[in-house]
Amino acid sequence: IAAEKNGYDHFMLKEIHEQPAALRETLRGNIKDQVADLAHFNIDDIFADVKKIYIVACGTAYHAGLVGRWAIEKLARIPVETEIASEFRYRDVLWHPQSLMIVISQSGETADTMAVLREAKRNGIRVLAVTNVVGSAVSREADRVIYTHAGPEIAVASTKAYSTQLLIMYLLALHLARVRGTMPLNELKELTGELARIDGLAEKVFEQQNRIKEMAARHKDVQNTFFLGRGFDYAVAMEGALKLKEISYIHAEAYAAGELKHGPLALIYEGVPVLALITQDHLVEKTMSNIREVKARGAIVIAICKANLQESCQECDEQIILPDVNPILAPIVGVIPLQIFAYYMAIFRGADVDKPRNLAKSVTVE
């Protein structure tokens, strides 16, 4: 088994580092003539008259689905509802007659996700699966399948599966935007061009690895942490908090920054770390005003901030700088520091990173 770790101490760290390559693999063949083209997955017929999309998944895959919702709504202008499978399956869903379901599952074997897939089909709704495992239950039963090419993911904490799921969400949003004509061609090409280079941007984040490790060393003894963001950053905050709680066992909560005043602000105390995602240019000032509120209560604010926004977040106590990237695509690079942070927090606390207590890689029973 050690050999399979390729010199890394843990599968999780190896898989974090495999992300640029996994992104490259997943990009391959999906961009033609500068535009995203997923027609070879045979999906155009099932999307033809679609007026509503449901995205359903669990855990990290659900977080990818949240990004998918925002990307598809923004670029392809189709209303999307993203929900956790275990909730969706017991809800009295008002199925939209012209709808389509996307299920996202790394393993393709998650029980709740499978149950929702079957329920959709019973209701005559077509299902597109996004999965990493060829021949998995989800891939066998869905009407169409798009594969992420992350390669085998061994660590219980999902990393490269998530970033490649995000990539598929963007490719799909851009593909649908092109087919539906919801974006000017030059804008479409520009964003697609940036997506085509996202592996290189992801690679650059590793320049900050030592800094993040030192940061983790400083904060390893904390009991609570908070993750804040708005829009796409909120989805990434949720993923960052899940990573930290599942492998380091530190209490981690993600909040939409604008929601703080509605309750969570009461939890802030002297010295508590708050990780703030700052990648959405048009929301920086809003998020900064929330940051001032937590700082005024003594929180230590760690900003995960795009290079071009560095000046705006100078008031933060610590900074991790991300390469400049279109805000829509920022989650792919923004999540990497949070994965690395969670990894080192777990290491410094002596936790079993690859096999966290109480958890299984895929949840095949309810």
What amino acid positions are annotated as catalytic residues?
A: 361
Q: For tokens 């995602």, name the residue.
A: 277
332 C-beta neighbours (distance < 10 Å), count: 25
Subset of 323-362 contacting ligand AGP (CB under 6 A): 362
Per-residue mark of binding to ligand AGP, 113-132 (x: CB under 6 A): x-------------------
Cα distance between residue 174 and residue 75, in whole Å: 7
CB closer to ligand AGP out of 69 and 306: 69
The alpha carbon dihedral of 210, 215, 218, 219 has a sign of negative
Closest approach of Cβ 333 to ligand AGP, in Å? 18
CB closer to ligand AGP out of 59 and 273: 59
Q: In this structure, what token pair is assigned to residue 264?
A: 């969570």
Subset of 20-79 contacting ligand AGP (CB under 6 A): 58-61
CB closer to ligand AGP out of 268 and 353: 353
Closest approach of Cβ 316 to ligand AGP, in Å? 27
Nearest-CB residue to ligand AGP?
59
Per-residue mark of binding to ligand AGP, 280-319 (x: CB under 6 A): ----------------------------------------
Closest approach of Cβ 58 to ligand AGP, in Å? 4
Name the strand (E) or helix (H) holding 254. Answer: strand 251-256
Per-residue mark of binding to ligand AGP, 129-168 (x: CB under 6 A): ---------------------------xxx----------
Q: Phi and psi at residue 45, in whole multiples of 5°? A: -65, -40
**Measured CA distances, 158 to 61, 82, 234 (Å):** 9, 19, 18
Instruction: Name which position in 246, 250, 342, 344 contacts ligand AGP (CB under 6 A).
Output: 246
Q: For tokens 């990393």, name the residue.
A: 159
DSSP3 helix / strand / coil % (the chain, rounded to 5): 50, 15, 30
Closest approach of Cβ 61 to ligand AGP, in Å? 4
Q: Which stretch binds ligand AGP (CB under 6 A): 2-10, 32-40, 88-96, 104-112?
A: 104-112
CB closer to ligand AGP out of 147 and 192: 147
CB closer to ligand AGP out of 57 and 304: 57
Strands 99-105 and 126-131: parallel
Ramachandran assignment for 29, one of left (phi > 0), alpha (psi -120 to 50 degrees), beta (any other): left
**Residues in CB range of 100: below 8 A, 6 or more apart:** 46, 47, 50, 52, 53, 54, 125, 126, 127, 128
> Which residue stretches of the chain are H helix?
11-17, 19-27, 44-47, 59-71, 85-88, 111-122, 137-141, 160-180, 185-196, 198-205, 209-219, 232-248, 284-296, 330-348
CB closer to ligand AGP out of 267 and 351: 351
Closest approach of Cβ 248 to ligand AGP, in Å? 12
Binding site for ligand AGP (CB under 6 A): 58-61, 105-107, 110, 113, 156-158, 246, 362-363
